[in-house]
Amino acid sequence: MPLLVMKFGGTSVADLSRIENAANKVRKEVERGYDVIVIVSAMSGKTNELVGWVEGTSKLYDAREYDAVVASGENVTAGLMALRLQEMGVPARSWQGWQVPINTTSAHGSARFVSIPRDNIDAKFAEGFKVAVVAGFQGVSAEGRITTLGRGGSDTTAVAFAAAFGAERCDIYTDVDGVYTTDPRITDKARKLDKIAFEEMLELASLGAKVLQTRSVELAMRYKVRLRVLSSFEDTDETSGTLVCDEDEIMESKVVSGVAYSRDEAKMTLIAVADRPGVAAAIFGPLADAGVNVDMIVQNISDHAGKDGGPVTDMTFSCPTNQVARAQKAMEDARAAGLIAYEGHVVDSDVAKVSVVGIGMRSHAGVAATMFKALAAENVNIKVIATSEIKISVLIDRKYMELAVQALHDAFGLDKVS
């Protein structure tokens, strides 16, 4: 039997009527001849409620007990989905992570997959069951303790099962009907993409597009798992949604496939850093140890000497706004410990990151020029620039973010099919 993995997010299973709607979609795939593995999230809002209960009980909580509590949301959904399918006449059985088992590392709250043995679920399919409903977001450690994978972990669970079972495809059902060229809330010219390459989707996910969790795209790209993003709330067929696939499946790509943005960015500049070998490691090592997620980095050689007469440099980097205080403390502690020397620092917490992404950049010149001209035409000043093979990102004043997204969407003709 061909096998399909279907994942339903929290909004798709938010109440009993939505679970019934999702079960109907599963039933239709069974009728098409598939065995189906369904991965479910907790009902919308339930994980936040469970986390609140844990934090209300113990501020310095045991991470193992945190996982035991928080994983229960998916267990409830899995049982309810299996019951609904049974009521529809579909042979279904629910599975918690330890029952599969989904073997993970022991990093509670952020566990990683080790293996997903097929034997138990394959045996149930052989008995005549058509659907295995698996609680997403969770697994079991070598010590036999329940683990969780971090927020968005159900997407990663779905991809991991598709890889382990050689699924024909992994369908991610959510509250949007696919991947768009940019956020439709910013421009009504945003267009749904029929296909997008793994690399492009990975860049968009890491840049702030919240359609798919970044780890799930990384895993899909590594194991060549074809993903389809589609809506739980619309009638769908084989052509619905957006297919995330290998670049070879896309006949001809646009130079730029999408425009992404991240609103909550901050820019920090260390002024007059003593310029010597190892200075970058001395800065970014403590930041990493403090859990600061550094993104864009620019180093500027200063034209004046430091207090000791030696060469100095200004070092600029970006990070999420909620990590600025942590970054400042890490730098001040490093300076106090004599690891680095700098005269001061300046923080701008009112910036946003806007990026253009496309595999077509590899073979086309002039993308940067087009981007910068479009921003200049709208009097948008660029503070920092960072590039990769298929991405160009800029930091700009946050108040110009929506204007910049619209301008770039128009400049690259993303509203046009070809």
Is 313 one of the annotated binding-site residues? no
Mean pLDDT of 16-20: 97
Q: What pairs with residue 6 in β-bridges?
A: 38, 171
Mean pLDDT of 256-279: 90
Which residues 6+ apart lie within 8 Å of 265 measured at CB? 295, 318, 319, 320, 321, 351, 352, 353, 395, 398
pLDDT band at 252 (very low <50, low <70, confident <90, very high): low
Which residues 6+ apart lie within 8 Å of 190 measured at CB? 180, 181, 182, 183, 184, 409, 414, 415
Q: Tell which wins on pLDDT, 145 or 363.
A: 145
pLDDT at res. 274: 85
pLDDT at res. 368: 92
Is 344 one of the annotated binding-site residues? no
Place of tokens 């991470």: 63
34: Cα separation from own chain's centroid: 28
Is 185 one of the annotated binding-site residues? yes
Is 317 one of the annotated binding-site residues? no
CB 284 within 8 A of CB 207: no
The neighbour count for residue 272, using CB atoms within 10 Å, is 19
CB 196 within 8 A of CB 256: no
Is 139 one of the annotated binding-site residues? no
115: phi then psi, degrees, rounded to nearest 5: -165, 155
pLDDT at res. 306: 54
Is 74 one of the annotated binding-site residues? yes
pLDDT band at 99 (very low <50, low <70, confident <90, very high): very high
Q: For the chain, which domains are there? A: 3-175 (3.40.1160.10)
Is 258 one of the annotated binding-site residues? no
pLDDT at res. 356: 95
Q: Tens digits of per-residue pLDDT, 23-45?
A: 999 999 999 999 999 999 999 99
pLDDT band at 124 (very low <50, low <70, confident <90, very high): very high
pLDDT band at 176 (very low <50, low <70, confident <90, very high): confident
Closest CA to 88 of 12, 23, 11: 23
pLDDT at res. 302: 61
Integer Cα distance of 226 and 4 in angstroms? 11
Is 342 one of the annotated binding-site residues? no
Mean pLDDT of 119-142: 96
Lowest mean pLDDT among 123-127, 294-298, 380-384: 294-298
Q: Tens digits of per-residue pLDDT, 196-239?
A: 999 999 888 877 666 788 889 999 999 999 999 999 998 887 78
Which residues 6+ apart lie within 8 Å of 25 measured at CB? 6, 173, 232, 236
Average pLDDT for the chain = 91
Is 181 one of the annotated binding-site residues? no
Integer Cα distance of 261 and 182 in angstroms? 9
Is 191 one of the annotated binding-site residues? no
Q: Does residue 305 surpass a pLDDT of 80? A: no
DSSP secondary structure code for residue 192 in this structure: B
pLDDT at res. 172: 95
Q: Tell which wins on pLDDT, 253 or 124.
A: 124
Is 25 one of the annotated binding-site residues? no
Is 7 one of the annotated binding-site residues? yes
**CA quadruple 377, 380, 382, 388: dihedral sign:** negative
